[in-house]
Amino acid sequence: MILPDPAPLLPEIHDEDIIRQVFAHATSLTYSAKDAFQPQSNERLEFLGDSYLNYCITQILFSEFPDLSPGDLSALRAGLVSNQTLNVWARAYDLDKYLVLGVSMAHLQIPEKAEKIIADVFEAYIGGVIISRSQGKELVYDFLTKLVAPTLQQHKQFLDGMSRVDKMAVSRLYEMSVAQKQKLHFDFLDSGVNGAEDRWEAICLWEGQEVGRAKARNQQEAKHRVSTIVVEGLRKDN
């Protein structure tokens, strides 16, 4: 996931009450049963923002990748709307700095839980824009289109690169290693970033020496890519 440079302007929310609600975690609310109007946390806005965010990303991907299968589109969308991605977006716009937590949550030390809470703030902000602006939906769609543009461009380059990958390269490389009596081995590094196009890195070792590296969204694709590179290199050397 790549952030645009410069980042697109975050649509403004034109209502102070909605702004307060966006950043109000449920644990921060204090009220009496006698109050005529109960204060609201950001949960309802998060529900709205989450739904519209998924719709927008789905529509954008459907338009940008007319040849991708539903399965591939779903996998790409999952990475773009993951808590990890939303957490990065929220922090990029300093939304996390305005989050109001209750005492029980103020010193949260569980990274996964904190990530989810901050991701929820991004979704709540999207919901706040929608209900506070007459053109809220259009503003959000335009904003998200610009926000994901570099990541989608990277994915298009990845797909273009995959189209040139020799799916038989792994087999050919093993054949070459046997013929030349050389030891072939692959190591894999996992970045742990769900949905990332470069999550896995394959490292090809020839007689214990690194001869190539390549990244892809899974181990098999990374292995194909590095094998293609190494086979081409060995053929040139011979």
- pLDDT tens digits along 156-181: 876 766 556 777 889 989 999 999 99
Q: Helix, strand, or coil here: 12?
A: coil
State what percent of residues in the chain have pLDDT above 90: 53
Per-residue model confidence (pLDDT) at position 216: 82
Amino acid at 103: V
Q: Tokens 């977006």 identify what position?
A: 89
Report whether 82 contacts 195 (CB < 8 A): yes
The question of whether 15 is a catalytic residue gets the answer no
Most confident of 3-12, 100-109, 137-146: 137-146
Domains defined for the chain, CATH in brackets: 16-163 (1.10.1520.10), 169-237 (3.30.160.20)
Angle at 148 between CA 120 and CA 121, to 5 degrees: 10
- Active-site option among 46, 50, 197, 201: 50
The pLDDT assigned to 113 comes to 63
Nearest residue to 170 via CA among 208, 233, 211, 220: 220
How far apart (Å, rounded) are the C-alpha atoms in residues 106 and 89? 21
Looking at residue 112, its pLDDT comes to 54
> How far from each other are the two terminal CA atoms of the chain, in whole angstroms?
39
Average pLDDT over residues 20-46: 75
Provide the whole-model pTM.
0.69
In this model, does residue 203 exceed pLDDT 60?
yes
Which 8-state DSSP code applies to residue 162? H
> Is 123 an annotated catalytic residue?
yes
Angle of helix 136-163 relative to helix 70-80, nearest 10 degrees? 120
pLDDT recorded at residue 161: 61
- The number of angstroms, rounded, from the C-alpha of 79 to the middle of its chain's C-alpha atoms is 4
Tell me which of 20-29, 66-75, 172-181, 215-224 is least confident.
Answer: 20-29
If you average pLDDT over residues 75-104, what whole number do you get? Answer: 88
Mean pLDDT, rounded, for 216-229: 87
Catalytic residue among 46, 123, 197, 221: 123
Label residues 39-73 b or e (16+ Cβ within 10 Å = b).
eebbeebbebbbebbeebbeebbeebbeebeeeeb
Among 81-85, 114-118, 134-138, the range scoring the smallest mean pLDDT is 114-118
